[in-house]
């Protein structure tokens, strides 16, 4: 479970309800069933109009991903690639064929298999970057569903406001209905704003961050695999891949022939 998302959703809900209670002493006045139908039902209906039915199942997936913790262990991937580079330098690239089936990451597995099969480096690069592009497209389609819902919710909130105002103005003589219609007019706007700014749009930003993590990891893999194919020195490969890490996380490496290595002797 991704704690920041969970804490943010719970804290935001508690804070706005608490603020509402401090203001009025009765949060039940913020519940309005017609507003629920108009805002939630209406915005979901618009989502159905703009989204193919087969993709609607992605909503659950996107919610799950937003609440699932994603870690990017670049250091571990660097170590794996350096180990492969050392083996390839000693025994040749074909020796990595024995390791392909044991690689847990499908992307790295495919890249190593292409290298073992003797695929041209430029072709390997094109294939793997095409896979990244397609992954980005799939992620973008999922994010767009939540983004669209976040766009429609405030609009349906405004539609509810207009419905409430029209009903109020047509029944000004019925003083009992004025408050009810005005409540519907304002609460629909409230619901739409909360749906968009507390749920959907923040989740879109979180999913965009997860997508960047995935791209970063795959770019590390591509750089490492192409270096292995080119026969680069494992120490140089480690330094090259460590450039993907923040400076604070880069291990100090003494490379033979560098001033720091000479000073150490």
Tell me which residue of 137, 153, 139 sits closest to 199, measured CA to CA.
153
CA separation for the pair 141, 148 (Å, rounded): 11
Question: How far is C-alpha 2 from the geometric centre of its chain's CA atoms?
Answer: 12
Rounded distance between C-alpha atoms, residue 188 and residue 106, angstroms: 46
pTM of this prediction?
Answer: 0.82
Q: How far apart are CA 170 and CA 146, in angstroms?
A: 36
**What pLDDT is attached to residue 71?**
80
Which residues of the chain have a pLDDT value below 50? 253-265
25: left (phi over 0), alpha (psi -120 to 50) or beta: left
Contact 136, 215 (CB under 8 A): yes
Handedness of CA 28, 30, 31, 32 (dihedral sign): positive
Residue 258's pLDDT is what?
40
Map out the domains of the chain as residue ranges: 33-247
Please measure the distance between the N-terminal and C-terminal CA atoms of the chain and give it in whole angstroms.
Answer: 49
Backbone angles phi, psi at 165, to 5 degrees: -65, -40
* Per-residue buried b or exposed e for 174-202, using 16+ beta carbons within 10 Å of the residue's own CB: eeeeeebbebbbbbbbbbbebbbebbbbb
The answer for 231, left when phi > 0, alpha when psi is -120 to 50, beta otherwise, is left
Sorted by sequence, the CB contacts under 8 Å of residue 137 that are 6+ apart come out as none
**Alpha carbons 177 and 185: distance in angstroms, whole number:** 12
* Phi and psi based region of residue 251 (left: phi greater than 0; alpha: psi -120 to 50; beta: remaining): beta
Q: Which of 190, 185, 179 is nearest to 164 (CA)?
A: 185
- What is the distance between the alpha carbons of residues 3 and 70, in angstroms, rounded to a whole number? 11
Would you say 6 and 68 are in contact if contact means Cβ atoms under 8 Å apart? Answer: no
The torsion of the CA quartet 171, 177, 178, 182, rounded to 10 degrees, works out to -110
């Amino acid at each position: 479970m991704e704690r920041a998302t969970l804490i943010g959703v719970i804290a935001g809900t508690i804070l706005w309800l608490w603020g509402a209670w401090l203001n009025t002493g009765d949060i039940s006045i913020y519940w309005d069933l017609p507003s629920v139908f108009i805002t939630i039902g209406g915005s979901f209906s618009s989502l159905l109009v703009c989204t193919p039915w087969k993709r609607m199942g992605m909503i659950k997936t996107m919610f799950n991903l937003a609440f699932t913790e994603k870690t990017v262990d670049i250091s571990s991937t660097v170590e794996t690639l350096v180990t492969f580079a050392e083996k390839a330098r000693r025994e040749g690239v074909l020796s990595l064929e024995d390791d392909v089936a044991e690689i847990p990451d499908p992307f790295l597995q495919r890249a190593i298999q292409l290298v073992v099969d003797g695929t041209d480096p430029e072709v390997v690069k094109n294939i793997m970057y095409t896979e990244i592009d397609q992954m980005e497209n799939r992620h973008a389609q999922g994010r767009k569903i939540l983004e669209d819902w976040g766009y429609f919710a405030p609009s349906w909130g405004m539609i509810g406001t207009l419905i409430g105002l029209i009903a109020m103005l047509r029944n000004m003589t019925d003083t009992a209905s004025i408050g009810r219609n005005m409540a519907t007019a304002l609460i629909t706007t409230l619901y739409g704003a909360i749906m968009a700014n507390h749920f959907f749009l923040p989740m879109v930003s979180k999913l965009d961050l997860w997508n960047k993590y995935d791209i970063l990891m795959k770019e590390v893999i591509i750089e490492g695999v192409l270096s292995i194919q080119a026969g680069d020195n494992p120490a140089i490969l480690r330094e090259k891949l460590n450039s993907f890490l923040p400076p604070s996380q880069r291990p100090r490496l003494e490379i033979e022939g560098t001033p720091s290595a000479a000073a150490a002797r």
